Amino acid sequence: MAALQGRHKQTALNSFFEADMERVFDVKESPEGETSPDAKTKKIEGDAPGDCIDLTQDSPASSSKGNTAETKRKPSEKEDSKLSLITWNVDGLDIEELPERARGLWSYLDSYTPDVVFLQELIPPYVKFLKKRAVSYTLIEGGDKGYFTGMMLKKSRVNLLQSEIVTYPTTQMMRNLLVAQVAKVGLPSGVGDVWERLGKREHCCYTWDTKYNDNKTVSFLARCRFDRIYFRPAAREGVPRLAPDNMALLGLERRDCGRYTSDHWGIYCTFSAG
């Protein structure tokens, strides 16, 4: 009976999400006939960490409107030697202002145009939204019910060879491992923590930080580095040897609804070929 009630609850929750997320798709067409994300973000002075990195300087395309000549032009030889990555726990299970927060996620993806995106706590309506917008990406889903992980690979930069889902039989929280084998990126031994490799910079240490992020109402202060990027350089012949060269946090601006894109900060990271 408990399992049956759980399934009914999940079905009802998904139905609610589906109905509410329709508002996300209600966007105006630009004069050129292309949809442009409604990136309604605003900086709250004194509300984010004072020593956080200035994303307007680190962003490859600081315009929040997206689809600009800057984001559409062909990458230079220097840029082509880099690999960019975003990883973000989007907290899809939190229904508060979910459509607005989904637009917030897309505004970052459209502005930064990363080569690879790792997302956690996705839900089916979130995937539907991303598939509608992210047509230049291959989207790999780690599940189709409840909440799950996902990967996005830029089609012009990363060629997907195969993917698989490794199940965890004893998990109590619907966990699994989503694995993708791609071209251009090697995965041999020698794994290291990118944050440590880049000098343990304080401004991008805490990715779940209740001191500044109040999406979750908790009675305690927590500053944790839950979200991490681990890296290992390629050793195989013919595979570029990449090294991390930049890292920053994303999502430090409140949306117009008063909430952040997620209760986690996202991480943006770039790698250069040596």
Is residue 236 very low, low, confident or very high in pLDDT (cuts 50, 70, 90)?
confident
pTM of the model: 0.65
In a domain, 197, yes or no: yes
> Is residue 273 scored above 70 in pLDDT?
yes
Mean pLDDT, residues 229-234 taken together: 82
Does residue 19 belong to any structural domain of this protein?
yes
More reliable by pLDDT, 7 or 154: 154
* Domain containing residue 48: CATH number: 3.60.10.10
Higher pLDDT, 59 or 26: 26
- Please state the rounded mean pLDDT for residues 45-51: 38
Q: Is residue 79 part of a domain?
A: no
- Give me the chain's average pLDDT, please: 75
The number of folded domains in the chain is 1
User: Mean of the pLDDT values across residues 33-53?
Assistant: 37
Residue 57 lies in a domain: yes
Please state, for a pLDDT cut of 90, what percent of the chain lies above it: 46
Q: What is the pLDDT of residue 205?
A: 94
Is 31 part of any domain? Answer: no
Structural domain contains residue 208: yes
| Residue 97 maps to a domain | yes
pLDDT of amino acid 190: 67
Task: Determine the average pLDDT of the residues in 214-231.
Answer: 92
CB 25 within 8 A of CB 104: no
Domain boundaries, position 7: 2-26+37-72+85-269
Is residue 23 over pLDDT 80?
no
* pLDDT per position as a tens digit, 172-196: 888 888 888 887 544 334 678 899 9
In a domain, 80, yes or no: no
In this structure, which long-range contacts are made by residues 196-204, counting pairs with CB atoms below 8 Å and at least 24 apart in sequence? Answer: 197/231, 197/243, 197/244, 198/244, 198/245, 198/246, 198/247, 201/247, 202/51, 203/49, 203/51, 203/52, 203/53, 203/249, 204/52, 204/53, 204/247, 204/248, 204/249, 204/267
Q: Which of 178, 196, 192, 181 is nearest to 242 (CA)?
A: 192
More confident residue, 126 or 62: 126
- Top mean pLDDT of 161-170, 184-193, 206-215, 235-244 is at 206-215
Confidence of residue 112 (pLDDT cuts 50, 70, 90): very high
Per-residue model confidence (pLDDT) at position 79:
57
Give the closest residue to 39 by CA, choosing from 19, 65, 16, 61.
65
Please tell me whether residue 214 adopts helix, strand or coil conformation.
coil
Q: Which residue has the tokens 């805490």?
A: 206
Sequence-ordered list of residues with C-beta below 8 angstroms from that of 82, at least 6 positions apart, any chain: 245, 270, 271, 272, 273
pLDDT at 28 over 70: no
* pLDDT tens digits along 127-167: 999 999 999 999 999 988 889 999 999 999 888 989 998 88
State the average pLDDT over residues 257-271: 95
Report the pLDDT value the prediction gives residue 208, as an integer from 0 to 100: 94
Band the pLDDT of 25: cuts 50, 70, 90: very low
Instruction: For residue range 93-107, list pLDDT tens digits in order.
Output: 998 999 999 999 999
Give the residue-averaged pLDDT of 1-8: 43
pLDDT classification of 44: cutoffs 50, 70, 90: very low
Q: How many CB atoms lie within 10 A of CB 2?
A: 6
